[in-house]
Amino acid sequence: SSLLMTTLSLHTVSLSHPSTSLTTSLLLYQGISLSELKDVLKSSLKIHENPVGLYDSSKDIHFPLQVLSSVPSYFSSKTYAVVLEKGEELRLGMCTLTEVSVRSMAKLFRSVADSNLLITPHQYNSIITHLIPPSHSYTSSLVHSHLCSLYDLYKDNPSVEVLLTMLSSLSNTDKGTKLRAAFEIYDADGDGFITRDEMRRYLSTLFRLRFKE
């Protein structure tokens, strides 16, 4: 066993899932191919997304996966979080929003909005921090930063209605759930219908979010 370790230069590396508490220890050899390394990471951490690097939360440093392949010995001293492609990382992290109902979000926003139901940047950031607190988890911090930056899509203080539409559309749920959420936001009298003007505002909010106009 010790002869094999010496011949192949094997190193034990501790890695964690980007958004859960799952960790794993891998025995890696120097020069392992990127494709093989990605397959090992996906299998051991039970992820379907594409891993692209590692994250050291204590120093806020990112390492491309190529560094782990070339110098696995550098990563043998502590646990590093696996980093996924940004779009996939965000999509995974949005599961947190899925756990928050539209009614709960509406209650939070309306409790701090002014008489015209408008939200200031400070109020919005406070609510996002309440929903998804920034942490040493790379995914959580990325999602928190992304959601806070979306406020800048609006030149004036956006309404509760607009912000709820934006957040509910980003949640990691199926289309049917998102449509029901839209009705919850715009169907103020609860009669199961929304007006043409309300539909226009809903679609306008979605287009602004998707195309960042």
Q: Tell me how far apart the alpha carbons of residues 129 and 205 are, in angstroms, rounded to a whole number.
A: 22
Q: Tell me how far apart the alpha carbons of residues 102 and 164 are, in angstroms, rounded to a whole number.
A: 7
pLDDT, tens digit (0-9, with 9 covering 90-100), for 160-185: 888 887 777 766 566 677 677 777 77
Q: Tell me how far apart the alpha carbons of residues 164 and 108 are, in angstroms, rounded to a whole number.
A: 10
Q: How far is CA 102 from each of CA 35, 129, 146, 157, 179, rounded to the nearest angstrom? A: 41, 17, 19, 20, 11
Q: Tell me how far apart the alpha carbons of residues 132 and 182 are, in angstroms, rounded to a whole number.
A: 21
Mean pLDDT of 207-212: 62
| Residue 24: strand pairing partners | 15
pLDDT, tens digit (0-9, with 9 covering 90-100), for 97-135: 655 666 777 778 888 888 888 888 888 888 888 777 766
Distance of CA 89 to the CA centre of its chain: 5
0.85 exceeded by the pTM?
A: no
Q: Tell me how far apart the alpha carbons of residues 156 and 20 are, in angstroms, rounded to a whole number.
A: 37
Q: Tell me how far apart the alpha carbons of residues 180 and 55 are, in angstroms, rounded to a whole number.
A: 37
In this predicted structure, the answer to whether residue 63 has a pLDDT above a threshold of 90 is no
pLDDT band, very low/low/confident/very high, at 139 (cuts 50, 70, 90)? low
